[in-house]
């Protein structure tokens, strides 16, 4: 991603800003050294460069473009896929593809049922009948001493 008239540290600074880091933090993570408030001052000075602002804006625009998938865009895709799949006689294929994408984006969450099995101990080993809770407590609960 070499940009005109920017060195590698300046490009790293731009990447840090595009990722949402504060200017001083992006400045230090780009490889510059600064003590005290010098990082804030130097980062502000670097950010005033036209080439730096231009690259940051470009990177932010690309990131915004990548995150434009919304429920509305998925619905539009679903409508288009349904029309296409219907023409081809395979509506299920279109619906499955769009629903899979929606699930990947976290827009649809499958519900899962969890079943629990309650098992009670047998009265005696090999016996088919189970004990009630009261019977089990009477037989196995610790005896209290008075």
pLDDT value, residue 41: 92
pLDDT value, residue 104: 64
pLDDT value, residue 51: 92
pLDDT value, residue 119: 61
pLDDT value, residue 11: 94
- Cα radius of gyration rounded to whole Å, the chain: 32
- In this prediction, residue 116 has a pLDDT band, given cuts at 50, 70 and 90, of low
- In this prediction, residue 16 has a pLDDT band, given cuts at 50, 70 and 90, of very high
* Mean per-residue pLDDT of the chain: 80
pLDDT value, residue 61: 87
pLDDT for 58-90, tens place per residue?
A: 998 888 777 777 767 777 777 788 788 878 888
- In this prediction, residue 55 has a pLDDT band, given cuts at 50, 70 and 90, of very high
* Residue 34 CB partners (closer than 8 Å, separation 6+): 24, 27, 28, 42
Q: Does the pLDDT at position 123 exceed 70? A: no
* Residue 122 β-bridge partners: 130
Query: Is pTM beyond 0.85 here?
Result: no
Q: Does the pLDDT at position 122 exceed 90? A: no
Alpha carbon distances (Å) from 21 to 16, 18, 62, 84, 87: 5, 7, 17, 44, 49
Q: Does the pLDDT at position 112 exceed 80? A: no
CA angle in degrees (0–180, nearest 5) for 95-100-105: 130
């Amino acid at each position: 991603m070499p940009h005109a008239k920017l060195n590698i540290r300046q490009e790293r600074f731009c990447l840090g800003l595009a990722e949402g880091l504060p200017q001083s933090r992006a400045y230090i993570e780009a490889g510059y050294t600064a003590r005290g408030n010098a990082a804030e001052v130097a980062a502000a000075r670097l950010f005033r460069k036209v080439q730096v602002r231009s690259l940051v804006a470009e990177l932010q625009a690309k990131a915004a473009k990548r995150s434009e998938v919304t429920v509305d865009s998925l619905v539009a895709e679903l409508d288009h896929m349904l029309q296409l799949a219907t023409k081809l006689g395979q509506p299920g294929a279109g619906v499955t593809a769009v629903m899979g994408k929606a699930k990947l984006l976290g827009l649809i969450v499958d519900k899962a049922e969890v079943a629990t099995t309650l098992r009670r101990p047998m009265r005696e080993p090999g016996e088919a009948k189970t004990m009630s809770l009261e019977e089990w407590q009477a037989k196995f609960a610790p005896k209290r001493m008075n």
